Amino acid sequence: MSDSPDTPATGPTGAAPDDGSALDFGSEPAGRELLPTATPARTRAAVRELVRPRRGLAVAGFAAMIVATGVGLLVQPLLGRIVDIVADHRPPGDITLPVVLLVLVALAQGATTALGLSLVSRLGETVLARLRERFVEKALRLPLEQVEKAGAGDLTARVTRDVSVVGEAVRDALPELARSLLAIALTLAAMAALDWRFFLAALIAVPVQASTARWYVRNAVPLYGRQRIATGSQQQQLLDTVAGAGTVRAFRLEEEHTERVTRRSSAAVELTLRGVRLVLDFYNRLHIAEYAGLAAVLVTGFLLVRGGSVSIGTATAAALYFHSLFTPVNAALVLLDDAQSATAALARLVGVADQPSPEPEKPEAGKSEAEKRAHAPRPRTAAEAEAKAGGTVTVTGIHHAYEPGRPVLHDVDLTLRAGERVALVGPSGAGKTTLAKLIAGVHRPTAGSVRVTTNGAGESRDGVPVALVTQETHVFAGPLADDLRLARAGATDAELRTALTAVSALDWVVALPEGLDTVVGEGGHRLTSAQVQQLALARLVLADPPVAVLDEATAEAGSTGARLLEQAADRAVDGRTALVVAHRLTQAATADRIVVMDGGRIVESGTHDELCAAAGVYASLWEAWSGTRATADQTPTHHRPDTTTLKDH
């Protein structure tokens, strides 16, 4: 058991020395509350629900497949008939009729197979599409707290690996399995129709096949699980090493990293070969079954022909039938494995898709719901329009602990007045980020309450009352304009430009190869981390929430970049109630009020001048900072106009 990425530093940590199982989404790290998985019964019911509206399609598809397989089974008796014509020394011209029939069978079989396969895949694909839509809908609505408890890897794994496993099963395994099973069933029936004793003879192979299949699944499932882990950790190591190549070279770690990759790659190779051996042993056993069945059918044919109860042609047809069973039987047995993993993946998808739909707006803000709704939109006064400021945040008596016994916040009271910009300052581990998350509604406090009161200005849009921007950098794949419109769906290009201007990003955006339409994100044009943060701030401007929480939104940009981002952030929160977790004291010093935290408590609160005068924690922080700037007499000015853009470097 080991950790997935994004484990909070306070979380449980695997001690396995060689874990590297960042892609090991299958294993369940101890202490994690994974997202729910549906029971087999519930999974079946969910599939039935999805299929029900398309019952006609399902019936037609399977009917076509049955006809196709049934028609195909006429081939062997027709061949047997030719054998009989020859054996009875009838004129060669008699062969023409069965041959023509063979051609007709071929045409009919081809047509019905094409029809059946296309209907079955239409059914499968449509159901799959509905399922993934429902899954994504529920997944995006999951409370962040639940997602974080499960580890971000859990949801990602479900949306990538599980969806693709089910998709592949629907696309390849399902039609193939249906065809194979039908072929097996109908072929056995046809053999029974020739003579019931052929059927009995064919069954001799079944015990061997059944036990082989059981043996295979028993060994294959855990082995493939380990294989996935090994391949995942090899991939992870490769990414680690390749992405960090500069660092590897700088520290002369070339040999060590080559060694790391070699180790992981060897492990993956070893497991791959173990899987190969398993499959080969599997086929070996099936060869035994094939031989036993074939010999039995031939002996039966021999005895029945000698006894005069069947013709040579019938015996031939039976042998050919059995020979033609090899392919579908092998296919069906191999697919058992796929079917098993697809079922498990399906259960994980249904588990999330079945989640009760929370209210579209943040339920975490719980106690504030009533108040938010109580304020019907009212005409805005000139003063309000001027201030645009819409939200008051009242934090009362909050205690919080991620794990019982490890409290992070103690008895925190804080009020953010409408339009006020408050900087949160304190050493690492003081609880700043936790407080920010509680106010943004990501977590529910262990005790105490967070109230957000909006005055109506923010309710004209169906956005969130409190928006959160963190240092997390993600750009949504696709045109840049689409990324921005996630914050405001109907925004015009002019509105997008205004928002980009506000965060000093318009210059580089219009300089992109296709301006606002440039494809960014995964596989698209690469943006610098500072540019990504500017986009995050532009989204904030577009979402236009009454309250904004900024947590280290400027930390990743390097010091010069950080300053430009701070200015962009200032403009983005202009006129909003804002809580800014500040690392650089210059940013704090320009705020309306500074709140200092230490050890999970608020220890000071006031304006820059008040706190400096108070000679407390902040004053000493400022001392550490300004000791170096004794000559800088002025406190930084608020809202400095600045048009500098961040260069793409």
Partner 1 sequence: MSPSTPSGRDVLRESVRGQRRDVALGSLLGSGHQLGEALVPVLIGVVIDRAVTKSDTGALVLWLGVLAVVYVGLALSWRFGAWSGDRSAARAEHTLRIALVRRVLHPGGGAEEGRLPGALANIATEDAKRVGAVNMAVMYGISALVGILTTAVVLLRTSVTLGLVVLLGTPVLLWLGHLLSKPLETRSATEQERAAHASAVAADLVAGLRILKGIGGESTAIARYRTTSRDSLQATLKAARAQAFQSGMVLTLTGCLIAVVALVGGRLAAQGTISLGQLVSAVGLALFLLGPLQVLAWVNAGLAQGRASATRIAEVLATPHTVTAGDRILAQPVRGAVRLTGVSHGGLREVDLDIASGELLGVVATDPAHATDLLRCLARRADPDSGTVELDGVALRDLDPAELRTAMLVAEHDADLFEGTVRDNVTAGAPDSADPEPAMTAAGVAQVAETLPGGEDTAVGERGRSLSGGQRQRVALARALAADRPVLVVHDPTTAVDAVTEAGIASGIREIRKGRTTVLVTTSPALLSVTDRVVLLDDGRVTDTAPHADLIARHETYRTAVLA
Binding to partner 1 (CB under 8 A): which residues in 239-258?
Answer: 239-254, 256-258
Looking only at residues 155 through 174 of this chain, which bind partner 1 when binding is defined by CB under 8 A? Answer: 155-156, 159-160, 163-164, 167, 171
Nearer to partner 1, 109 or 392 (CB): 109
Q: Which two tokens stand for residue 3?
A: 């950790």
CB of 631 to partner 1, least distance (A): 5
3-class state of residue 470 by DSSP: coil
In the range 507-536, which residues lie near partner 1 by CB under 8 A? Answer: 521-522, 526, 529, 536
Nearer to partner 1, 34 or 102 (CB): 102
β-sheet bridge partners, residue 580: 423, 550
510 vs 175: CA distance, rounded Å: 49
Tell me which residues in 362-391 interact with partner 1 (CB under 8 A): 362
Of 485, 438, 442, give the one whose Cα is nearest residue 597.
Answer: 438
CB of 214 to partner 1, least distance (A): 20
Interface positions, 578-607, toward partner 1 (CB under 8 A): 583-586
Looking up tokens 């509680």 gives 438
Residue 443 host element (H or E): none
Per CB under 8 A, contacts with partner 1 among 216-235 are 234-235
Closer residue to partner 1 in complex, CB, 142/200: 142
Contact status: 147 vs partner 1 (CB under 8 A):
yes
290 touches partner 1 by CB under 8 A = yes
Cβ nearer to partner 1, comparing 396 with 619:
619
Q: Which of residues 19-48 bind partner 1 (CB under 8 A)?
A: 19-20, 22
Q: Which stretch binds partner 1 (CB under 8 A): 196-204, 221-229, 336-344, 557-565?
A: 557-565
Q: What angle do CA 184, 189, 193 make, to 5 degrees?
A: 145
Footprint on residues 44-103 left by partner 1 (CB under 8 A): 72, 75, 78-79, 82-83, 85-87, 89-92, 95-96, 98-100, 102-103
CB 540 within 8 A of CB 571: no
Could you say which residues in the range 421-440 bind partner 1, by CB under 8 A? 425-429, 433, 440
Residue number, 41 or 255, with CB nearest to partner 1: 255
Cβ 399 to partner 1 shortest distance, Å: 19
Please report, for residues 47, 156, 539, the alpha-carbon distance to residue 131 in angstroms, rounded to integers and kept in the order given. 9, 16, 30
From the CB of 188, what's the least distance to partner 1, in Å? 18
Under rule CB under 8 A, residue 12 binds partner 1 = yes
**What separation in angstroms does the CA of 498 have from each of 82, 390, 420, 510, 644?**
82, 21, 23, 13, 16
| Shortest CB 462 distance to partner 1, Å | 7
Residue 172-211 contact track with partner 1, rule CB under 8 A, x = bound: ----------------------------------------
Nearer to partner 1, 392 or 567 (CB): 567
- In DSSP notation, 163-179 reads HHHHHHIIIIIHHHHHH
Sign of the CA dihedral running 60, 66, 69, 72: negative
In the complex, what is the shortest distance from the CB of residue 105 to partner 1, in angstroms, rounded to a whole number? 6
* Out of 545, 546, 575, 600, the residue judged to bind partner 1 by CB under 8 A: 545
Q: Which is nearer to partner 1, 377 or 427 (CB)?
A: 427
Q: Which of 495, 556, 574, 592 binds partner 1 (CB under 8 A)?
A: 556
Taking CA atoms, 152 is separated from 3, 132, 144, 238, in Å, by 11, 18, 10, 21
* Residue with Cβ nearer partner 1 (11 or 396): 11
Strand 547-551 vs strand 466-469: parallel, antiparallel, or unpaired? parallel
Tokens of 640: 């400095």
Q: Could you give the C-alpha distances from 5 to 2, 30, 428, in angstroms and in order?
A: 10, 14, 21
The residue from 1, 14, 366, 388 that contacts partner 1 (CB under 8 A) is: 14
User: What count of Cα atoms within 13 Å lies in the side-chain half-sphere of residue 329?
Assistant: 27
Minimum CB distance to partner 1 smaller for 44 or for 171: 171
- Distance (Å, whole) CA 214 – CA 206: 12
Contacts 24+ apart (CB under 8 A), 6-14: 6/151, 6/152, 6/153, 7/151, 8/148, 8/402, 10/402, 10/403, 10/406, 10/408, 11/402
